[in-house]
A and B are shown apart, each in its own frame.
Chain A
Amino acid sequence: MPTHVVPLEACTADDRGLVGGKALGLGSLLREGLQVPPGFAVTTDAYRESVVWPGLQSEAVRLLDRCTTDEDRVRASEAIRAMFERAEMADTVATEIALAYRDLGGGRPVPVAVRSSATAEDLGEASFAGQQDTYLWIRGADEVVAAVRRCWGSLFTPQAIAYRAHFGIPTRDLAMAVVVQRMVDAVAAGVMITLDPVTGDPSQITIEASYGLGLAVVGGEVTPDRFAVDKVTYEIRARAINDKPFAYHFDPDRREVVARDVPEDDRTLPALTDAEIVALARLGRAVERAHRGAQDIEWAIGPGRNGEREIFLLQTRPETVWSRRPRAPIADPNEPILERMLRAMRQPLRLRDDGATSGGAVPAAEEEGAGTAH
Chain B
Amino acid sequence: MVETVERTAEQRFPSPFEIATPAGAEGWQRMYPYYLLFSEENREWEDSMLWFQDGMHHPEVLYPFDTITHECWRVALGQYNTRVFSLPAYGIEQRVLNGYLYICAVPVSDPNTIPARIEVFLKRAGEYYGNWNHYFDEWKVKMTRVIDDLKGLGVPSLPRLEPERVVTEGLGKTAGYDLLAAYHRLIDSIFLAWQYHFEMLNLGYAAYLNLFMFAKQAFPGIKEETLAQMVAGADILFFRPDDELKKLAQLGLDLGIADRLRAPGKPEDIVASLRNDPVGAKWVEALEAAKDPWFYYSNGAGFYHHHRSWVDDMTVPWSAMLGYLDKLERGENINRPKEEVLERRERLTAEYRDLLPTDEDRATFDQNIGLARTVATYIEDHNFYVEHWYHTIFWNKVREFGDRLVEGDVLDDREDIFFLNRWEVGQALYDMVAGWASGAPTRGRRYWRKEVAERKRICSILAEAGPPVPALGPVPDEITEPFTVLLWGITTDRVKVWLGAGETTADNQLRGVPGSPGVAEGPARVVLTAAELDTIRDGEILVCPITAPSWGAVFGKIKAAVCDIGGIMSHAAIVCREYGLPAVVGTGTGTKKIRTGQRIRVDANVGLVTILD
Contact = CB atoms under 8 A, between A and B. Distances in A.
Interface centre among A196, A346, A351, A365 (most CB of B within 10 A): A351
Contacts of B480: 346-349
B220 A359 contact: no
Contacts of A327: 357-358
Interface residues of B, number: 64
B221 A237 contact: yes
Nearest to A236: B605
A233 B492 contact: no
B371 interface: yes
B220 A371 contact: yes
Interface in A330-354: 330-333, 336-353
A252 B442 CA distance: 105
Given A232-B226, A333-B363, A349-B479, A359 B491 contact: yes
Interface string A195-214: 01001011110000000000
B17 interface: no
B224 interface: yes
B367 A349 contact: no
A351 to B, nearest CB: 5
A344 B486 CA distance: 12
B129 interface: yes
A233 B126 CA distance: 35
Q: Which of B476, B478, B567 has the most CB of A within 10 A?
A: B478
Contacts of A350: 477-478, 492
B275 interface: no
Interface in B1-58: 11
Q: Which of B122, B210, B479, B605 has the most CB of A within 10 A?
A: B210
B62 to A, nearest CB: 26
Nearest to B363: A333
A337 B125 CA distance: 11
Contacts of A336: 122
Contacts of A372: 217, 220
Interface string B561-573: 0000001100000
Nearest to A293: B357
B77 interface: no
A360 B224 CA distance: 7
Interface stretch (B141-149, B280-288, B347-355, B594-602): B347-355
A352 B363 contact: no
A361 interface: yes
Contacts of B364: 329-333, 340
A341 to B, nearest CB: 4
B351 A365 contact: no
A196 B355 CA distance: 13
B277 interface: no
Interface stretch (B166-174, B394-402, B493-501): B493-501
Interface string B121-153: 110011001000000000000000000000000
Given A341-B206, A361-B567, A201 B492 contact: no
B216 A345 contact: no
Given A340-B364, A346-B480, A361-B568, A352 B217 contact: no
A327 to B, nearest CB: 4
A231 B485 CA distance: 26
Contacts of A343: 213
A359 B360 contact: no
B478 A344 contact: no
Contact of A351 (B213, B367, B477, B489): B477
Given A351-B476, A362-B213, A373-B220, A346 B88 contact: yes
B223 interface: yes
Given A359-B493, A361-B568, A365-B213, A203 B355 contact: yes
Interface in B76-127: 87-89, 118, 121-122, 125-126
B368 interface: yes
B475 A365 contact: no
Q: Is the interface of B mostly helix, strand, loop or mixed?
A: helix
Interface string B59-74: 0000000000000000
B355 A331 contact: no
Contacts of B223: 230, 233, 235
Contacts of A346: 88, 480, 482
Contact of A342 (B121, B214, B367): B121
A18 interface: no
Contact of B358 (A203, A329, A342): A329
Contacts of A232: 226, 348, 351-352, 355
A374 interface: yes
B510 to A, nearest CB: 17
Contacts of A242: none
A228 interface: yes
Contacts of A330: 214, 217-218, 361, 364
A344 B210 contact: yes
Given A349-B480, A350-B478, A351-B475, A337 B212 contact: no
A201 B357 CA distance: 10
Contact of B478 (A196, A233, A351, A360): A351
A230 to B, nearest CB: 7
Contacts of B528: none
A358 interface: yes
Given A232-B351, A332-B360, A349-B492, A338 B485 contact: no
A327 B361 CA distance: 10
Given A235-B517, A344-B209, A353-B501, A202 B357 contact: yes
Contacts of A159: none
B113 to A, nearest CB: 14
B484 interface: yes
A363 B355 CA distance: 22
Interface string A247-286: 0000000000000000000000000000000000000000
A353 B496 contact: yes
A35 interface: no
A38 to B, nearest CB: 31
Nearest to A288: B355
Nearest to A228: B221
Interface in A72-92: none
Given A344-B213, A363-B213, 20 more contacts: A232-B355, A329-B358, A329-B360, A331-B364, A332-B360, A332-B364, A333-B367, A337-B129, A337-B367, A344-B206, A344-B212, A345-B87, A347-B480, A349-B492, A353-B492, A358-B216, A361-B513, A371-B217, A371-B220, A372-B220
10 pairs of A and B residues whose beta carbons are closest in the complex: A329-B360, A333-B363, A344-B213, A348-B478, A203-B219, A341-B210, A373-B216, A359-B493, A345-B482, A373-B220
Interface of A: 196, 199, 201-204, 228, 230-233, 235-237, 327, 329-333, 336-353, 357-363, 365, 371-374
26 contacts: A196-B221, A199-B220, A202-B218, A228-B221, A232-B355, A327-B358, A330-B218, A333-B360, A333-B363, A340-B214, A340-B364, A341-B210, A342-B121, A345-B210, A349-B490, A350-B477, A350-B478, A352-B477, A358-B220, A359-B492, A361-B486, A361-B491, A361-B567, A362-B224, A363-B213, A374-B220
